[in-house]
Amino acid sequence: MAQEEPRSAGGVADDATQRDAAIRGWDWAVLPEGSTSSRFQAPSGGLAVVTMGKPQNPRVVLIPGATGSKEDFAVMMPELAEAGFYVLSYDLAGQYQSAGAGPENLVPPRRHYDYELFVNDFIAVLESGEGPSHVVGYSFAAILAQIAYSQRPELFRSLTLLSCPPLTGQCFRGVRRIGRFTGWANGRVGAAVMIWAIRRNVNKVSPNRLRFVRDRFRFTRRQSVRDIYELMKHVPDLRRAIAAAKVPKFVAVGEHDLWPLRLHRQFAQSIGARISVYRGGHSPSETSPHQFGRDLLAMYAADT
């Protein structure tokens, strides 16, 4: 059974809520002080990586979604590192500073980004560490995390699905208001609409955030976004495999997410995961990072 946690419950929760309210001026283009940037040679090419903390500590791997980047976790990373974890995030192949990674680098080369490419990169990152990792997959990357778990469960210490599409198959069909129109859109159209909405600031993000996400599009390869849109119309059904997982499972979502909360709660129940709902939309790691980080640390502490 899924257990739903309150948004805040006094004490530490109230402090986290207040700190979240104070991040509107955060400069998202700047990685946290004390972080280290590097390149990881994955099967699809070089991936841009940022780490914080001591490498000998338990590892937390944070994977951003489509049109995103490692900076989407920048507010959370210092507190996770200070709590005794080695935190790692990377840009997906074709995205932002990993724009050079792609299917043309595979052996043999391929024409499109596909699930195998993204999952093999992900598994390579997990294999580079010592022992299993706590994993957080954001949106499209939450699908990748489920696939990777189904293939290599020994690499996971816990599984957190952040703003995870709660439907299998053509997952956009359940999106609020426009879901019924998404079936006809191919990758080119779907990616164009996605990028248009972000550029036009439909989600009403802060000026600093908007400046960064617009600049990020100068690097992200449109082909990767188009191919990801197509992949999200064919989400594999891994609910049975994830329900059987013995690791801690956590579904995190904003109360105004793209998909209705009803679907997220049904999804969490189907995989036996705890669920927390935060104020905001599709990006709790950006709008409620201290609350989300607090809840991750509570789960990690219970696992020790």
Give the Cα separation of 72 and 220 in Å (integer).
15
Q: How far is CA 267 from the centre of its chain?
A: 17
- Strand, coil or helix: what is 112? coil
6 pLDDT more than 50: no
Task: Note the pLDDT tens digit of each residue in 112-165.
Answer: 999 999 999 999 999 998 899 999 999 999 999 999 999 999 999 999 999 999
Predicted confidence at residue 183, as pLDDT, reads: 55
Higher pLDDT, 60 or 27: 60
| Residues facing residue 150 across a β-bridge | none
Q: Return the pLDDT at 23.
A: 79
Report the Cα 51 to chain-centroid distance in Å: 16
State both tokens at 236: 């594999």
How far is residue 84's CA from residue 39's CA, in Å, rounded to a whole number? 23
Q: pTM score, two decimals?
A: 0.92
Q: What is the average per-residue pLDDT within 95-105?
A: 98
**CA trace torsion 289, 290, 295, 299 (10° rounding):** 90
CA distance linking residue 6 with residue 163, whole number of Å: 17
> What is the structure's pLDDT at 200?
67
Backbone angles phi, psi at 137, to 5 degrees: -110, 130
Query: Which residues are bridge partners to 41 per DSSP?
Result: 46
Angle at 264 between CA 208 and CA 203, to 5 degrees: 20
pLDDT tens, residue by residue, 50-98: 999 999 999 999 999 999 999 999 999 999 999 999 999 999 999 999 9
Under a CB-based contact definition with an 8 Å cutoff, are residues 92 and 98 in contact?
A: yes
* pLDDT at residue number 15: 87
